[in-house]
Amino acid sequence: MSKGKKVVITGVPGVGKTTVIDASMEALKAEGVAYTSINFGTCMFEVGCDQGIVNDRDEMRKLDQDVQRELQKTAAKVIARITDNTIIDTHCTVSTPAGYLAGLPSWVLEELKPDIIVLVETDEDQILKRRLSDTSRSRDMEGYVAIKDHQRYNRYMAASYSMLTGCTVKIVRNLDFLLENAVSEMVELLR
């Protein structure tokens, strides 16, 4: 049984992560390269539903810390069992009122064993503009410095993920008007 690549794709809100993933998947499909795409949070939620722990996503946030960690671990195990090439869509670091939270803490990494962690990044100013023009989501508004700090923190965090698991950390810049560059870098990585 051959094993596929496990590629974790991350980026701060407004960086255009979904756009890059979707366009890359399409390009890869045209080349005959198949990837299964999984959202880590959705996978955790489905595991929680299956186990009768939660009924809706709001309940996820209110879970006891130990229960939440067990759900994370189980979700990571479920994904690790997939033998296809897999993209895991999640956050490197989550910015919460209590500070930065590791999106992939050690107990998740040890189950998931990713091959590559991608940090989709762009200029802070572009992220700001994209967030301002996105009327569909009501996000807590962060300033330029907070976004810059968050993008940097993702790099620090990813370094420790790499130390623990041996995965590589690839930075893909998704600049305005240059989506095709980001996509072609991503396709080369995933091919």
* Interface ranges with its own copies (CB under 8 A): 69, 93, 96-102, 104-107, 109, 115-118, 149, 152-153, 155-157, 159-166, 168-171, 188-189
Can you say how many angstroms the Cα of residue 188 is from the centroid of all Cα atoms in its chain?
Answer: 19
Judged by beta carbon, residue 46 or residue 115, the one nearer its own copies is: 115
Q: In what helix (H) or strand (E) does residue 153 lie, and over which residues does it extend?
A: helix 144-165
| Token digits of residue 126 | 């572009």
From the CB of 15, what's the least distance to its own copies, in Å?
Answer: 17
Secondary structure percentages of the chain, helix, strand, coil, to 5:
50, 15, 30
Judged by beta carbon, residue 132 or residue 175, the one nearer its own copies is: 175
Judged by beta carbon, residue 46 or residue 149, the one nearer its own copies is: 149
Packing angle between helix 179-190 and helix 17-30, nearest 10 degrees? 60
Question: What is the distance between the alpha carbons of residues 153 and 155, in angstroms, rounded to a whole number?
Answer: 5
From the CB of 142, what's the least distance to its own copies, in Å?
Answer: 13
Label the pairing between strands 36-39 and 168-173: unpaired
Judged by beta carbon, residue 24 or residue 93, the one nearer its own copies is: 93
From the CB of 32, what's the least distance to its own copies, in Å?
Answer: 21
From the CB of 187, what's the least distance to its own copies, in Å?
Answer: 13
